[in-house]
Amino acid sequence: MQLTGPEIQSRMQISNPKNPNQHPDIVIEPFFENCLGSNSYDLHLAPVLKVYSCTVPHGMKIAIPFDSSKEMEDYSMRDWFESEEAYTIYTKNPLAFDPSHPKYFLNPSKKKETVEFKIPETGAILHPRFGYLGSTIEYTETFNLFPYIDGKSSTGRNFMSIHQTAGRGDDGFCGNWTLEILVHCPTIVYPGMRIGQIYYEQFVGNRKPYNENPASHYNNQKSATSAAPVPIDAQILQYLKQQKML
């Protein structure tokens, strides 16, 4: 059962003695009533984006500051490169900058370094080849409910996605939401733009709060957070060997 907008606001105003610090079941900071919808609350994009360093070709920018005084035809592929030398290398060997090149691989089981980009107030153009880690301006806490986020319909109609299977939260999650942003076309984003919505649902059964689970990776995250290494469980490997699947 999904909460309506008025019910979301109501839950934010009632302290619950069973929650940490007697917080309400829903905390959204900052909260602006005009961002409350029929059954959701609008979330906003924080100014800092991150990209995994291993996916960025040397000499290439991860985003282009948007200049509203320029016409669309004034932009060119040269704008994606830090220098004329890097652009010349690209023109001679574009396959070296192809995201499908094996040297730009991601290893889910390893920690990865990131490079940051701060979106100027005038906006920035994102590249379709990069995956961007962003975050919500809003800090949220959720107790006794199931939270999840999704892109706004206008975001989707601009062929921008804000999560890659990671739009579902947990009872007990506290923190800013990390966004996994992909664009299908070069797309302008702005700091503070409405980029998604958060929803809340009731659930049944005994609780297993995220903030009390020692295996939780992302509780209390404050900004775009890199992926935790994905473990390969020893018992699963043993099972696969017993079944002669390895």
Sequential pLDDT tens for the chain (246 residues):
899 999 999 999 999 999 999 999 999 999 999 999 999 999 999 999 999 999 999 999 999 999 999 999 999 999 999 999 999 999 999 988 888 899 999 999 899 999 999 999 999 999 999 999 999 999 999 999 999 999 999 999 999 999 998 788 889 999 999 999 999 999 999 999 999 999 999 987 776 665 665 655 556 666 666 666 767 778 877 877 888 877
* CA distance linking residue 201 with residue 145, whole number of Å: 6
Q: What 8-state DSSP symbol labels residue 243?
A: T
Can you give the pTM of this predicted structure?
0.87
**What is the number of domains present in the chain?**
1
Q: What is the CATH number of the domain that holds 18?
A: 2.70.40.10
Q: How many CB atoms lie within 10 A of CB 109?
A: 8
Structural domain boundaries, residue 133: 1-246
CA 180, 185, 191, 195 torsion-angle sign = negative
Query: Residues 33, 138, 180, 212: which is the catalytic one?
Result: 180
Question: Residue 33 catalytic?
Answer: no
Q: What 8-state DSSP symbol labels residue 100?
A: T
* Rg, C-alpha atoms of the chain: 21
Measure the CA dihedral 93/94/95/96, to 10°.
Answer: 70
